[in-house]
């Protein structure tokens, strides 16, 4: 499989880009990697890059977007931060990826049993981590069940995963609210912004409608 070129990138639509990621994750789950020569792709991309998707995911060592979607060099922009939330710098990176570099899809990828989400559920406080946790805690408040405070912590993995899902949705809402550039591109059909959840126990990615 060759690296994307300007010509192949131009053929990608938001929905086609989404299909590419879904197919890649299916290959990953089945341990059937696409046949690609990475060293050849190094040469192919040495004078330019033409990725089709921008993926915001967690720093978790088990959730490498290139691996779980079976993509090669030059295929995706991968933005990683604990808790997969957005700030001004990440939004700027997304705007570069979509408006200037031509990606057609933004994926906000959460995952099950997320350590950053667990920290938010426990309202952890530690150095610079405190400011990061504060950005995720609105997702904790958005999950209304269970009401029993003794069950609203990292020991309740169902609650943790529900907060992870809510965090993805809040992040998407923040992208639309805080980036007029991306909101306009989405409204014009130039890009699609979708949420997804990676299951660390199965390797599967569930995309949200």
Average pLDDT over residues 192-201: 98
Asked if residue 5 has pLDDT above 90, the reply is no
User: How many CB atoms are located within 10 Å of the residue 101 CB?
Assistant: 15
Q: Which domains does the chain have, with CATH numbers?
A: 6-207 (3.40.1050.10)
Asked if residue 209 has pLDDT above 90, the reply is no
With contact defined as beta carbons under 8 Å apart, do 195 and 175 qualify? Answer: no
> 60: annotated binding-site residue?
yes
> 111: annotated binding-site residue?
yes
pLDDT given at position 162? 98
β-strand partners of 15:
none
pLDDT digits 0-9 by tens, 147-196: 999 999 999 999 999 999 999 999 999 999 999 999 999 999 999 999 99
pLDDT digits 0-9 by tens, 58-78: 999 999 999 999 999 999 999
- Distance linking the first and last C-alpha atoms of the chain: 29
With contact defined as beta carbons under 8 Å apart, do 59 and 80 qualify? Answer: yes
pLDDT digits 0-9 by tens, 123-138: 999 999 999 999 999 9
Can you tell me the distance from the alpha carbon of 163 to that of 161, in angstroms, rounded to the nearest whole number?
5
């Amino acid at each position: 499989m060759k690296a994307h070129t300007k010509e192949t990138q131009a053929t990608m639509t938001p929905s086609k880009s989404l299909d590419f990621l879904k197919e890649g994750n299916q290959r990953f789950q089945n341990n059937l990697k696409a046949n690609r020569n990475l060293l050849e792709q190094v040469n192919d991309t040495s004078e330019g890059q033409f990725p089709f998707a921008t993926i915001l995911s967690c720093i978790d060592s088990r959730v490498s977007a290139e691996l779980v979607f079976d993509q090669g060099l030059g295929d995706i922009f991968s933005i990683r931060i604990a808790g997969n939330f957005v700030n001004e710098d990440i939004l700027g990176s997304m705007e570069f990826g979509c408006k200037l570099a031509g990606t057609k899809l933004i994926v906000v990828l959460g995952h099950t049993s997320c350590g950053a989400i667990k920290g938010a559920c426990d309202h952890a406080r530690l150095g610079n981590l405190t400011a990061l946790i504060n950005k995720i805690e609105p997702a904790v408040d958005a999950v209304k069940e269970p009401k029993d405070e003794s069950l609203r912590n990292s020991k309740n993995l169902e609650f943790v995963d529900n907060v992870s899902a809510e965090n993805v949705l809040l992040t998407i809402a923040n992208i639309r609210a805080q980036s007029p550039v991306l909101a306009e591109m989405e409204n014009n059909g130039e890009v699609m912004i979708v949420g997804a959840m990676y299951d660390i126990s199965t390797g599967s990615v569930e995309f949200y409608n």
